[in-house]
Amino acid sequence: MNITGSLRNIEIIDLSNKDQKINKDIQGKIDQDSKNISSSNETLDIKIEAIINPTLEESAKKVNDSFTKHGSQPKFNAAKLFNVMDNELTSINKNISEYNPSIKSTDWDFTYKNDKLQVIGKTLSENDKKFIQEKLDKSVVMNEAVKQYNQSVVDYYQVAKDDYFLGHGSKHGGISSSKVYVHVQDQINTGILPYKKLMQETINSYGKVIVPDKYSAAITAPEDYLTASIDTYA
């Protein structure tokens, strides 16, 4: 029997190479499973974090909403309303000049007291004051604009203890972070704000029309007239 010849026809299988391939396949599968597990764990960690601390996106939204309510929106509204009030005041001043040309614009102002507009002016006669008061009372535009402006002032200055906008740094707008304002509407309703003076100071600083990039003064103007309370919240 020719054993040598028979062996030539037998296919020799290198099991070591096959084992290497199997090992690589297995290792690749293990590595992939590890990546999947790691990825799953990261996803699980994020889900757990979201459950434990639902903050991330929710808090960002609250901060943004709060900033809009107590910052950008009242500032923008105040600027628009000052323009409306100033335009209406031009019409009222025209009526006053026709009634009594000797009345100067500096002779009078108006405030908001006991839920209504009120004329103020030490040099005005009673008849002149009555005439101006009637013009103010009849001006639906002025009355509505002042009420909306007052609300903007309240929204800007009065921030509750749990409000997300408290972390505003040294200042937001014109308000020092060390100041907390309470009962702002009640303060306004005592007649502390001289609207003509506030408008004139703002217009003198920024021009007849308060453009969007220069509107802070319209909302920061009342700060000197409001009383702040330290460490007291609404």
Model confidence pLDDT, tens digit, residues 29-76: 545 554 554 544 454 454 445 555 555 667 667 666 777 777 788 888
- What are the angstrom distances between the C-alpha of 25 and each of 34, 50, 182? 14, 37, 71
> Which of 56, 232, 46, 73 shows the shortest CA–CA distance to 152?
73
Contacts for 59 with CB less than 8 Å, ≥ 6 apart = 164
| Domain assignments of the chain as residue spans, ordered by start | 19-53, 66-225
Distance CA(6)–CA(182), nearest Å, equals: 106
Model confidence pLDDT, tens digit, residues 160-204: 655 655 443 333 444 445 567 888 999 999 999 999 999 888 877
> 151-183 b/e with 16+ CB inside 10 Å = b?
bbbbbbbbbeeebbbeebeeebbbbeeeebbbe
**pTM (two decimals):** 0.68
